[in-house]
């Protein structure tokens, strides 16, 4: 155990950094995708709702490992060889971020849709009857109420996404699990390595949860 920590500790710490970087990129774009798609799914336009539903169902219906392989290996091949356009290369970080953003974005969209729908219709109707346009009613009246109910689910989704980065070890991104596999291969100490890696994830996620609790309390007091 100490041998792994002293010899490979710095390597694993760097890998944890890469995991966080990947999660950060993924979550950032996932929030954007989730917000756009989530709002699209409550719009009156049928086309918008249909596009949102197709996106969510498509992404939710495909395991993330398949999505990862598809984006990293499949998309450049499709682009360069089958379509013959050429010139597209994706690094593991780019492919991984896209993959996380799409996957997490689909779940976020559902959380946001559910959050908006949980706000009583009367709120929107009241705002509209006061003469506010739809968008302003949404942004000023409905969303602020919806966000409070969404927060726990969103934090939960953040944690799931952080752990999902481990799936991206298969596309060669040097995050924690990929690095740990290399450490195991070099030392043949599976138990020790995986115990350390498990503890590292646990610590980071516990810290994230603590931060989330603080945020949740702050938002509640504001209300």
Contacts with another protein by CB under 8 A lie at 72-73, 76-77, 80, 88-92, 95, 169-172, 174, 178, 181-182, 184-188, 190
Query: From CA 177, how far away is CA 183, in angstroms rounded?
Result: 10
Identify which of residues 81 and 209 has a Cβ nearer to another protein in the complex.
Answer: 81
Identify which of residues 14 and 185 has a Cβ nearer to another protein in the complex. 185
Quote the least distance from Cβ 184 to another protein, whole Å.
Answer: 7
Nearer to another protein, 94 or 153 (CB): 94
CB of 104 to another protein, least distance (A): 23
At 154 the three-state DSSP class reads helix
Nearer to another protein, 135 or 188 (CB): 188
Q: How many Cα atoms are found within 13 Å in the side-chain-facing hemisphere of 123?
A: 16
Phi and psi of 41, rounded to 5°? -80, -5
* C-beta neighbour count of 198 within 10 angstroms: 11
| Run of H or E residues at 32 | helix 2-40
Q: Alpha-carbon distance 76 to 27, whole Å?
A: 23
| Residue 205 beta carbon to another protein: minimum distance, rounded to whole angstroms | 25
The CB-of-87 to another protein minimum distance in angstroms stands at 9
């Amino acid at each position: 155990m100490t041998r792994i920590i002293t010899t490979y500790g710095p390597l694993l710490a760097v890998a944890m950094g890469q995991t966080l970087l990947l999660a950060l990129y993924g979550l950032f774009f996932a929030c954007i995708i989730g917000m756009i798609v989530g709002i699209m799914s409550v719009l009156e336009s049928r086309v918008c709702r249909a596009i949102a539903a197709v996106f969510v169902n498509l992404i939710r219906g495909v395991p993330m490992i398949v999505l990862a392989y598809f984006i990293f290996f499949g998309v450049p091949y499709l682009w360069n060889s089958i379509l013959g356009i050429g010139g597209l290369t994706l690094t593991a970080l780019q492919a991984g971020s896209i993959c996380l953003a799409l996957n997490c974005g689909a779940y976020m969209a559902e959380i946001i849709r559910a959050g908006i729908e949980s706000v009583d219709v009367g709120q929107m109707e009241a705002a509209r009857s006061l003469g506010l346009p739809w968008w302003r009613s949404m942004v000023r009246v409905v969303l602020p109420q919806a966000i409070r109910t969404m927060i726990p689910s969103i934090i939960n989704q953040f944690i799931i996404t952080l752990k999902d980065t481990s799936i991206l070890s298969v596309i060669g991104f040097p995050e924690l699990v990929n690095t740990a596999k290399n450490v195991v291969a070099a030392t043949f100490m599976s138990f020790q390595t995986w115990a350390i890696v498990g503890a590292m994830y646990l610590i980071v996620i516990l810290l994230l949860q603590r931060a989330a609790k603080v945020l949740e309390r702050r938002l509640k007091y504001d209300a």
